[in-house]
Amino acid sequence: MPISNEKIQSYDFLRGMYSDGYFPDFLVDKVKGILIDLCESIELEKPEDTGALLLLTHAATKRINELEDEFEDNDSELETEAREVMAENFEFVVRTYGFDSVDIEDVIATREW
């Protein structure tokens, strides 16, 4: 399902990770894919409250957690800069879809990074 939200369509996902050679682009692409999938899920399921949104964001966060070993196998890790960039991207997504008051720490509460 293509994303219909114009702000999401034009957003430069994970710019800080792509610009840092420490993070392999093919793995950053996987994280970006997860974030795009999250956007598609939000548009498809149209969560009406924070609880429904968190089910979607937690699932996406868990999928990113599963990439941790792959980052390490490629002499990288989901460390401070990656955490900040990914948190900013999650925040952009949830705010763009109208969840202005949700705490970003709740959004990514299931993270291991």
Q: What is the pLDDT along the chain (113 residues), one digit of tens a residue?
A: 799 999 999 999 999 999 999 999 999 999 999 999 999 999 999 999 999 999 999 999 999 999 999 999 999 999 999 999 999 999 999 999 999 999 999 999 999 99
Q: Is this prediction's pTM over 0.85?
A: yes
3: three-class secondary structure by DSSP = coil
Closest to 57 in 3D by CA, of 16, 97, 3:
97
Q: Which contiguous run of DSSP H or E holds residue 55?
A: helix 50-65
